[in-house]
Structure formats: C-alpha cells, structure tokens
Structure 1
Amino acid sequence: MCGVKCITFALWINIHSVITETNGFKVHLTPLKSVNHVGADLELTCRVNACPAFPQDPVLAKIKSLIANQTQTLNCTVHNVYPLERIVIEWLRGNETLYVDEPQIPYDSVQSHSYVYNYTPSVSDLGKNLSCKATLKNPEIGLEKTRISNAEYGPGTITISSKNPSVKLGGHLEITCHADGNPKPTIFWWKNETGPAQNKSQNEKLIINNASWSQAGWYHCGANNTVGSKHMSVKVIVLGPPNIPKIQLSHTGDPKEGENITILCSSDDESVDLTLYRQSQNAASGALNETVVLLNIPSVQITDGGIYICEAKNDFGTERSTINITVEAQLKEEKKPDLPIAILPAAILPAAGSVSLLTIAGLLIRYCRKKATSNSGDITLS
C-alpha cells in the first residue's frame, strides 16, 4: 500500500489533470512512469506549458501635461505577465491607434516590462483619452485577453474662444475656456484687481452683463485636476466714449520766467488717441495706445502762458481737460546812480564806506550850504 500520502498525491494529480485538460493546458510529470519500493523516497517534477498569466491592467505613469506640438515621453508597464513575448502593446488616442509595440524576446518565467513611446499630440487630439492597450495572445490554446488603461495627465493646452475680446459699454460678453486633461480639469475664472485676485466664475464660461468701465482689464482662466494646474490670461476691452483725461503741471503753483516746466496729459484707457496742445496752436500728439503725452518747455517765458488742452479721442467720442498756465515775471534789481563822491572833501571820504547812503546825503547837503555861505562873504558891494 502506498499509504495516505500516496493516495493524496495521486488524487491531486488526477484533479489537476482534469482542470488543465479542460482549459487545454499540458502537465508534464518527470519521471512519467515511476516504480519504487514502499518506504523509499520518490521525487516527481511537474511542469505546466502554455499557462498564460495576465493578472492586472497595464499601468501608465502620470503625465504632467500634454501640449499640442510638444513631444512627451509615455511609459506603460505590464506586471506579472506570462509569456511576455505574446504581449502586444497598442497606444491609442481616442479610437485612433498611434503606435503598436510587439516584443519578440522569449522569457521562461513571469515577467514585468515597461514600454516607452515618444508622442507629439496635435490640436485635433485635444479632449480625447490617451490609452495603453495590452493584449495577450496565445494561439496554441485559442486565448486572447485584453486589458486597457487611460493615462492621467495634468492640464496642457488651454484654448479660449476669443483672443482679443471686447464689449461695448452696457453690452454682453461670453468667453469660453477649455483645457485638455484627465481627469477632466475644473475651470475657474478670476480678475486682477486692487488687492487679492477675486474668483469670477467656476465653469468654462466667463459672462459679463451690462459691461461697465470697471469690468475692463485682465482676466485669467485657471484649470486644475489631481495631476496639475495651468492658467491663461486674456484682456477684456470695454468700448465706449473715453474717460475724461488728466492734465497737470510739473510745478506747484505758477512757474517763473526761465524755469523748465513739463505739462503731462494722461488717460487710463489705452484704446484712445491722446493729444496735448496749446489753444490755437500746434498740437503734441502721442503714439497709438500710449497713455501719457508730455510737453517740455525749457526756460519758460511769459509768452508761453495760456490755456493748454489734453484731448482723448476714440471711435465713440472725444473728451478734454484744460489747464491755464500763468508765468510770473522774474523781478530785476534797479541799478542806483553813482553819487558825486568827487566833490566831497577828503575828510568826508574815509567815512563814506562805513555809513549809510542817507548819512552821506546829509553830509553832502551840509557841505554845500557851508560852501555857499563862504562864497557869499567874498562879494564886494559898490
């Protein structure tokens, strides 16, 4: 008798043979026919041929982003596959096959293997799934098993429905933003204003109703998912009559003759044409889209005074601001006539440098009177 162990082993071989024959597998025992004595050791070797293993879906490495016309390296790994040489890897974008990889190297054991593909997406690929499809083919037993996985990638190419959006004052504007990514990115809008950015929307559309001047400016479309994030900016222009421009003088108060002055004309609207000129004289114009025009007047004269006009103009109207500039005359010191110092006696001259003009005048008068008296005593009457 073989004993319990022998019976158990024989039962297990029979059951396994039934299972493998049902699935078309082949079990090889070595030695095929074994005769041995009771109580002696027996060693049997069992080898199974054509037993495919494909236990899980292929794994794709996460991709930071897919951007149109930029090459990206893709990586797909299949784990614990047998036989590996029967695996066919197919890269797909949507339903379109991009590339097929068919390894031919035989392996005798269960293997894991990674497949690399350099992919350059096109604009037409945006919004389509990027997939790695692995198929295990074994014609000997009529088996073909397929597993497929979609790649996860962060937002890449962002498209906005209008590159230069504009809206008339009081009008309506809609801008749509779309970003390619998997999982599908969440789209949100915000506008740069004084202080922190403020969220304006949480869907693909930015909607502006009854447009006002304050709604003009830079808006940002943001897209994010579990892999990454990206944003794109667009400038919204509100069209209407220009705002009243500003005009100012570089000086505080009225300038004086001979000073250098600058007159500044400015607007907060880049879409207007700015002109700065003196009333009834030639104009100084700024280039298109300039927001400041300067007029420099070196050594200003009284004749440069007058009314200066800052004018902002667009297709919807014209607005002006004015400034009246008055130039003060520069005060000049009058030159005093020289005193007749030569007629003063020598006794008076040394003191002239140390006394005031009034004192000198008094001394001069006294001297003249004294001279007149002495002269009158010399007259002889007949």
Structure 2
Amino acid sequence: MDPLAAVRAEGDPACDVYLTGTVFLDIVFTGFDAEPVRGGETWARGMGSSPGGVANMAAALSRLGLRTCLAAAFGDDKYGEYCWETLEQGEGIDLSRSRTVPGWHSPVTVSLAHDGERTMISHGHEPPPLDPDHLAEAPPARSCVASLRPGHTQEWVRRAAREGALVFGSTGWDETGSWDLAGLPDLPHCDALLMNAEEALRYTRAASPQLAVHALAEHVPVAVVTLGAQGACAVDGRTGEKAEVPSILVDPLDTTGAGDVFMAGFVTGTLAGWPLADRLALAGLTAALSVQEFGGSLSAPGWGEIAAWWERVHAVEEGEENAPTLERYAFLSRLAGPLPDVTTPWPRRRAVPTLGFRG
C-alpha cells in the first residue's frame, strides 16, 4: 500500500524521506524472571538482534510505504554487513548516500527489557563524520527528519528546507543543561517538532505538557508532545488545529525505538495530508504495535500489521464501551488505498530477529 498515492504527481522527488544518523547493532534480551543483579547470572527467555539507532526510524518509514533514503556510516565488520544487508535488501531502503568505513567497527547496544522498562549498555567509537559536501548533496525529498542538537548547525537541514522539503525535528536530552530553544540553531527550519513530555517541560518551563505544546507552537508551525502511556497532544500554530489522542494499551515486550516508530507514523500521516488527530492516532498505533516485538527496526509494523489490528478491533471490541476506539481509527477504512487482506492470525510476526542463520 502506498499511503501517498492520492498526492503523488509527475515530477515529485523520488525520495519521500531523507534522514541521517548512526546505525547501531541492537541486541535485546527479554523475559527475565527477576531483574539482573550484580555478581549473579540471569537467564533471559528471549533474545533478538536487529539494526538500531537511526535504522529504527528508517525501517519504520519504509514499512509504512515511504521511499526512504538513509545516509549513515556502517562498520567494516560482520555487524555492519548484517545491518547494511538487512536495511537495503530486507527493508528496501536507499543507502546510496551511506558508506562503509574501513577499520571502524559497528557501535553495539545491549538492551535489557524488564517490567515495561529497559536498561541499555552501549559501546562504540565516535563515527567518522560523513563528508559535509556529501550530506549537502542530499537527494531532493518531500521531507527529512533532523535530530536537533544545542549549538550544532547542520547545513543539509537548511538546504533541504530551502529546496522545499518538510523538516521534522526531534530532540534528545540536553547534556548542556541549558534547555534553551534559542540554542537549537536548526529549529527555524523545522515545519514540525516532536518531543517527549519531559523534554517539552524543560524547554518551555510550562506547568503541564498541554501548556508546553502550545508554547512550542510559538516557535514551530506544528508541535507534538508525546505523553507515554497517556498518548500524545499536538497543536498546529498556523491553523489553530489542536488534538490529543490517548494511547493504545498493550503489554510491551521491548520499548526500543518506540519514539522513532511514532515519528514515522506522524511523518506518513502528514505527507498524506491527514488531519492532525489522525496523524497522532496512526503514530500512536504504530508505536504500540512495535513494542510488542523485539527491537526497534524489525518490530516496526507495516500496513499488513495495521490491517490485522483493525480487523481484530472489529472482531473482539464490540460494545458501547469500545465505540471510541472504532470511531477514533475509522480513518483506516477511508484510506486512499485499501488495507492489505489479512490471511494470518493475530498477532502478526514480522521477522526472525537474529543474526546469520545459514540457508
């Protein structure tokens, strides 16, 4: 399914979304009977491996039908080879702007998922920077996703915005401790800004996430604040459109990459021209489906998984108390293209999350 079928036109860029960042190899352990303790040995009932880091968002975008181009450095080792092959051949991501760096090994993150939380241990050396001229030659794209860093300017973001791409910005923890929006030099180029509630409260000094999202909308056309288990809220400062959508309650297996998958859903709905509330709903749904599987990239749902969930909602969630769910996600039945036929039972299993099965 192509979610942008209704808006595509002759002469449009071949790339829907361009992004850059660091690719990790993620190794995830799940299914602990008790939290690991120092000096002891703890067995996990589940383990999976997958490309991580920026690969989480790239895979999520591609699985939702967006033509995705990723510029990243890959390690010159078996981990890097696995990540490259998985993203290019398995996920159909354009890696023509990426490169393998001789002698540089892949960053690795081990994630311990327990009781709805995760503890991560990472190892890696600073990735060799991609040639600025190489980044500046980013392909024409409908949109790009940029990670905003205090005091750090990315020339390719400015150029992408100037050439008409929609820029979706995200932030991380501000290690400088300043929490100053004026210190994000790429913010003026952003069409949308997505933050979690804690970041939004620190950046705006607001008393609540709902007030924070309005404060952020004074700096960027569309502001989104994710509220964890409470869902997400958003404001379009240009039109005055507001939305708050509750989350879908699930039993999480691994929350790795949930924020990246949320971003992918929001980007997809925005490029398709959907109302703000529908964009939040799709983003929240894709994130909820992803945390029920291993890893961030291999857990990202496609339209088949979304169709399976929607069919299950109709089948098992009947009654007046479930009417809000059916009403909130009714837009899934009105998409430009039909959802895929569901031929396998719920839950859908998307990938074997392990390295190197031979044959």
- Is the TM-score greater than 0.5? no
Structure showing the higher strand proportion among its residues: 1
Q: Which has the higher contact order (CA 8 A, sep 6+)?
A: 2
Normalising by structure 1, what TM-score?
Answer: 0.15
Max radius of gyration: which structure? 1
Normalising by structure 2, what TM-score?
Answer: 0.15
